[in-house]
Structure 1
Amino acid sequence: MPSVDLMIEAQALTKRYGGKVAVDELSFTVRPGQVTGFLGPNGAGKSTTMRMIVGLDRPTRGSVTVGGRPYRDHPAPLREVGALLDAKSIHRGRTARVHLLALAQTHGMAPSRVDEVLALVGLEEVGRRRAGGFSLGMSQRLGIAAALLGDPAVIVLDEPVNGLDPDGVLWIRTLLKSLAADGRTVLVSSHLMSEMAVTAEHLVVIGRGRLLADTTVDELIARLGVGSVLVRSPRATELRDLLIRHRASVTAPEPGLLRVSGLAAETIGDLALAQGLAVHELVPQRASLEQAYMELTRDAVEYREEERNGS
């Protein structure tokens, strides 16, 4: 258990590669005690930001600190910040145990700690196998073991569920929550919105290198959610036509049942009543994180598609 709580703080963080701006005046804070999801479309600048957090890239302008100082200024960085940015960035000829042992020796950690983290991530049976022969899922587990080696207060993981089977996804979800419950600062990126919805409490969303949202999961869904309403009616066809005339989006999953977007349940009920159309069921459906995320990042995604197409 770490002795102190550390925050990640980015202030006007900017990174340019020639004429291209990868991260643009990005400011946010990742606090301890909760899992913070780091989201954004491909090319949004997430990996670049994470590399700057751990000192692998130098900001063009602005700053990012962990516990009030840059990562490189920590005297024992593995004991402060554990990171997984690329699961395959390992010496392929080394065994999993030797890989971790080499890292442990840089910080004076006992070999017993290596065995502890191998067991923690479920690799104790393959610790003497060469890492070059590992599947992506096994490599992810080894990378997470390396991140946890120094028992750090801050954990930074880039797409940690890639390559994991359903049991592995559940394992990493439980692990992240337990780390946050211990009071650690946990920042994790993922493209799996369904997983972020049940794992993260707070979200930092970026697009085109800029901050789009810094909020909780519930607040983002409430602000941008495009939820629907299920409507059951014996006169569904007439009701569908009525709602479409009022600019609703309507689909019919089955006879007599409509799924309506763009109108509140109260409005649908009032419209049906005014036209004498019976409604037997009117059930609002809560929007998903994925729907809210897609709404928030729509312009950023369209920009990237246009950029790739050269328009």
Structure 2
Amino acid sequence: MIEAVGLTKRYGPKTAVQDLSFSVRPGIVTGFLGPNGAGKSTTMRMLLGLDNPSAGHATINGRRYAEHPAPLREVGAMLEARAIHTGRSAFNHLLALAATHGIPRSRVDEVIDLVGLRQVAKKRAGGFSLGMGQRLGIASALLGDPATLILDEPVNGLDPEGILWIRNLLKSLAAEGRTVLVSSHLMSEMALTAEHLIVIGRGQLIADTSVADFTERASRGGVLVRSRDSVRLAEVLGELPGVSVTEDPETQVLLVDGVDSERIGELADQHRLVLSELTPQKASLEEAFMEMTKDAVEYDAVVAPRTLVEEHAA
């Protein structure tokens, strides 16, 4: 269990994190999200005792990180995968970490095999690719077989096979009852990996909720309907009280609000109108994230508006 209570961090006149409180429960993967400059890295550094909070406190399994007699056995962390001695081999890097915590050499071999670095274990880590460096960083976090994992951008630089591997690994570790906190900018991957989300912006909490509830809150609702009889279908649906229809005659696409997809299908059948698509509209995690953090973006760019069809295709 990770608990942050009133965490605040100031750097001179700038407040990076302000009165931030949340809990990360064991047994599920929790995603830690926020725009650039939101305070995620600062928060994770405070969780691990690398930065002292200006106010508030954080505990991991009931203690501050520095109070754990063997932190590596309690908390596995990866904030910067390339924070390694570039002249050491992957094996010797892990062996040096193991020696400081009384971890047996056999565990070093286990994590090397677990992350898929056996063939390069004796090579200098300074020559590793970005993806290999990520795997070594993950191996370091797993070395002490910890009950808690805190990982910053663990899929950065991994190929598709590696991304699938880390996704399944994190889920399996959580299923064992471990606490798993993962920061990432890849919304599509978080949607497949995390069950719960902590979202911050400008150093403050925006959401602490399940992935399903987060996307539901941002969903615009409605049903996207495609039919070669779109004009007639729009007329039929427009006769229903409280129903609005946005029509694009050129593409034969309708966006219908105020009635569910089942009722639309029934009406189409009654009037012998052929449907080629009937899709309830629900925001993706990326869309929900953009909507919920739009007022907390530090560096904003102008994006051209998209048509109804372009939005659906995206």
TM-score (norm 2): 0.84
User: Which of 61, 71, 77 matches 1:77?
Assistant: 71
- 2:47 is matched with which residue? 53
Paired residues for 1:6-25 under 5 Å: 7-25=1-19
Deviation at 1:129, TM superposition (A): 0.4
Indicate conservation of the 8 Å contact 2:73/2:146, yes or no: yes
- 1:223 is matched with which residue? 217
Deviation at 1:265, TM superposition (A): 3.9
Aligned equivalents of 1:248, 1:298: Cα separation in 2: 27
The one-letter code sitting in structure 1 at the alignment partner of 2:43 is T
Deviation at 1:91, TM superposition (A): 0.8
Cα root mean square deviation, aligned:
2.6
- 1:255 is matched with which residue? 251
User: Which of 296, 299, 313 matches 1:300?
Assistant: 296
- 2:285 is matched with which residue? 289
Q: 1:236 to 1:69 in 2, by over 3 A?
A: same
- Per-residue displacement from partner, 1:146-168 (whole Å, max 9, x unpaired)? 00000000000000000000000
Indicate conservation of the 8 Å contact 2:215/2:283, yes or no: yes
- 2:309 is matched with which residue? none
Aligned equivalents of 1:16, 1:118: Cα separation in 2: 39
The one-letter code sitting in structure 1 at the alignment partner of 2:5 is Q
- Pairs aligned (count): 290
- 1:153 is matched with which residue? 147
Paired residues for 1:47-196 under 5 Å: 47-196=41-190
- 1:3 is matched with which residue? none
Paired residues for 1:237-252 under 5 Å: none
Identity of aligned residues (%): 64
- 1:41 is matched with which residue? 35
Q: 1:208 to 1:114 in 2, by over 3 A?
A: same
TM-score (norm 1): 0.85
Aligned equivalents of 2:171, 2:188: Cα separation in 1: 15
Deviation at 1:182, TM superposition (A): 0.6
Where in structure 1 are there 5+ consecutive unaligned residues? Answer: 1-6, 307-311
